[in-house]
Amino acid sequence: MVALRSFVSSANDTASALSQLSDKLSAIDGRPSFVYAFYDETHDDAQIVRFLETRFSGVPVLGGTSCGGTMSQIGLGGAGSIGLLVIDDPDGDYGVGAVTLGDSPSKDAERALHAALDDAGCPGELPELIWIYQAPGQEEQVIAGLRRIVGDRCPIIGGSSADNEVAGRWRQLSPAGVMTNGLVVAVLFSSGGIGFAFQGGYEPAGASGVVTKVAYSADGGRGIVTQASGRRIVSIDGEPAAQVYNRWTGGIIKDKLSGGNILMETSMHPLGIDAGKIGEVTHYLVIHPEQVLDDGVLSTFADIEEGMSLYSMRGDKARLVDRAGKVAAAAAAALPGGTEGLAGGLVVYCAGCRIAVADQMEKVSSAVSESFNGLPFIGCFTFGEQGRVLDRNAHGNLMISAIAFGR
């Protein structure tokens, strides 16, 4: 039997927020199986770590910073919030492994996965689901490393930790402590089954083109690699990428074509990659343009390959609000016993979408809560989302992922 409980507190002072959590946690008896912990970047990591070590000694813990706090079935936690999802599953197995990302993120990911399997007491076994939380920037390499071990037989779900201003203040949390450039991998062998879903809330806007040159930004000044993947689009159809994008979107970045951060302007106008079709319906992996650099280079939060077709996408607040509930409903429906066996869930909602939706975020938490039948859930807000699209594990931006736990 699987039971979930979620707990949220909110205060500018970390000690006050943890005191509120302590009072709420007094209702829990015994040692849980697994804990997710997400919190606003303004909080003191050391106090949170000490609190979790004391309250959940020996329990696998995964989490980190989340843009603007958390959400749950009782609503939006808001600034200064800390959220916990506590899983009690005596017949299941859970484990966590953590590494600092170095020169080979794919190998680091392999090490973290093996450590998590050892921690769960299941070395060499295939988990029902792998859940990851990491520093932004190396997501594709991490997924490549995990796929070398499990392929696409096992869903890889999760998010890239976030801060409140894209200033690099994101952190990752594991039983080993807090990291700033880390990867935390959890393996879940749930006795009640797990459903999952991964979608974006955008549709094609009409324009499209082919990436003709990509710059690969790497440590050590190795410069541009042609016929490769990277996060800097130099040109689309032979023209400077920023100029093409500006034309596609009716001039939304015309004032920043010489350079600048464009996160706010592009949240409703991302790029899309054709991920394949189910029937006649095309599914897209969404990519968020981040900055305009010198010579009209467009930087993004996900890798782009030369020769890849890019599509101009569009969204609106109503669609992004509704999509969160639909993704949660799809995850619940994917449970072995369907929604009747639902115990609760976890939602990853892109921080870019959170900022774009703004004053309608309470509707997002309500939509998810309704889809999860009012049962416990925790939502975090990330700078990148990982999930499975058409049976392949992938990284995208401005996406929503959800997992549903069966009883």
- The pLDDT score that the predictor gives to residue 219 is 44
Q: Which amino acid is at 290?
A: E
pLDDT tens digits for range 53-93: 999 999 999 999 999 999 999 999 999 999 999 999 999 99
Can you tell me the mean pLDDT for 337-351? 94
Residue ending a domain, among 268, 299, 314, is 314
Does residue 94 have a pLDDT over 80?
yes
Looking at residue 144, its pLDDT comes to: 96
* Mean pLDDT within 28-33: 90
Among 314, 331, 351, give the residue marking a domain's end.
Answer: 314
Check residue 115 and give its pLDDT: 98
Instruction: Please indicate, yes or no, whether residues 179 and 289 belong to a single structural domain of this protein.
Output: no
Q: Are residues 39 and 158 in the same domain?
A: yes
pTM over 0.75: yes
- Percent residues over pLDDT 90 in the chain: 89
Choose one of 314, 335, 356: the last residue of a domain.
314
Domain that holds residue 388: 3-198+318-406
Confidence of residue 220 (pLDDT cuts 50, 70, 90): very low
Q: Are residues 128 and 177 in the same domain?
A: yes
Q: Is the pLDDT of residue 226 over 90?
A: no
Q: Which residues contact 88 (CB under 8 A, 6 or more apart)?
A: 2, 3, 4, 5, 30, 32, 33
Average pLDDT, stretch 106-129?
Answer: 98
pLDDT in tens, 183-218: 999 999 999 999 999 999 899 999 999 999 998 655
393: Cβ–Cβ under 8 A, 6 or more apart, which residues? 143, 146, 147, 152, 155, 156, 386, 387
Mean pLDDT (whole number) for 16-37: 94
**Residues 179 and 221 occupy one common structural domain:** no
pLDDT-derived band at 225 (thresholds 50, 70, 90) equals very low
Task: Give pLDDT, residue 354.
Answer: 94
176 and 56 assigned to the same domain: yes
* Average pLDDT value for the chain: 94
At residue 227 the predicted structure's pLDDT band, cuts being 50, 70 and 90, is: very low
Q: Are residues 187 and 210 in the same domain?
A: no
d(CA 27, CA 344) in angstroms, rounded, equals 18
- Per-residue pLDDT tens over the stretch 281-299: 888 999 999 999 999 999 9
Q: Higher pLDDT residue, 303 or 278?
A: 303
What's the structural domain count of the chain?
2
> What residue type is 112 in one-letter code?
A
As a whole number, mean pLDDT of residues 33-52 equals 97
Look up the CATH number of the domain holding residue 228. Answer: 2.40.10
